[in-house]
Amino acid sequence: MSVPKSEYLSSVWAPGIFANRVVFVTGGAGTICSAQTRAMVHLGADACIIGRNPEKTEKAAKDIAKVRSGARVIGIGNVDVRNFDNLKAAAERCVKELGAIDFVIAGAAGNFIAPISGLSPNAFKTVIDIDTIGTFNTVKATIPYLIESAARNPNPNPNGLTGGRIISVSATFHYSGMPLQAHVSAAKAAVDSLMASVSLEYGPYGVTANVIAPGAIEGTEGMERLASSAVDKKKMTKAVPSGRWGSRRDIADATVYLFSDAGNYVNGTTLVVDGAGWRRQGGNDIGIDEGMEYPDFLFTGQISKNLKDGRKQKSKL
Please report whether residue 107 would count as binding ligand COA according to CB under 6 A: no
Site residues for ligand COA, 234-273, by CB under 6 A, read none
Binding mask 84-103 for ligand COA (x = CB under 6 A): --------------------
Question: To the nearest whole angstrom, how small is the minimum distance from the Cβ of residue 188 to ligand COA?
Answer: 10
Residue 311 sits in the site that holds ligand COA (CB under 6 A): yes
Least distance (Å) between residue 187 CB and ligand COA: 10
Considering only 10, 78, 157, 315, the residue that binds ligand COA (CB under 6 A) is: 315
Does 110 engage in binding with ligand COA (CB under 6 A)?
yes
Smallest separation (angstroms) from ligand COA to the CB of 63 = 19
Active site (annotated) includes residue 238: no
User: Does residue 309 touch ligand COA according to CB under 6 A?
Assistant: yes
Q: What is the 3 state secondary structure string of the chain? A: CCCCHHHCCCCCCCCCCCCCCEEEEECCCCHHHHHHHHHHHHCCCEEEEECCCHHHHHHHHHHHHCCCCCCCEEEECCCCCCCHHHHHHHHHHHHHHHCCCCEEEECCCCCCCCCHHHCCHHHHHHHHHHHHHHHHHHHHHHHHHHHHHHHHCCCCCCCCCCCCEEEEECCCHHHHCCCCCHHHHHHHHHHHHHHHHHHHHHHHHCCEEEEEEECCECCCHHHHHHCCCCCCHHHHHHCCCCCCCECHHHHHHHHHHHHCHHHCCCCCCEEEECCCHHHHCCCCCCCCCCCCCCCHHHHHCCCCCCCCCCCCCCCCC
> Per CB under 6 A, does 126 bind ligand COA?
yes
- Binding residue for ligand COA (CB under 6 A) from 10, 122, 197, 242? 122
Kindly state the smallest distance separating residue 52's Cβ from ligand COA, in Å: 7
Judged by beta carbon, residue 72 or residue 225, the one nearer ligand COA is: 225
Q: Is 173 in the site for ligand COA (CB under 6 A)?
A: no
Which one of residues 56, 118, 284, 306 is an interface residue with ligand COA (CB under 6 A)? 118
Site residues for ligand COA, window 184-223 (CB under 6 A)?
A: 221-222
Single out the residue of 88, 82, 205 nearest to residue 141, CA to CA.
88
How far apart CA 31 and CA 24 sit, in angstroms, is 16
Whether residue 66 lies in the annotated active site: no
Q: Is 45 exposed, middle or buried (0-12, 13-18, 19+ CB in 10 A)?
A: buried
- Interface with ligand COA by CB under 6 A: which range of 58-66, 116-124, 147-155, 189-197? 116-124
Which one of the listed residues 170, 247, 260, 304 is annotated catalytic?
A: 170
Q: Using CB under 6 A, pick the residue from 158, 204, 295, 310 that binds ligand COA.
A: 310
Catalytic positions: 170, 188
| Residues contributing to the site for ligand COA (CB under 6 A) | 109-112, 114, 118-120, 122-123, 126-127, 130, 221-222, 225, 309-312, 315-316
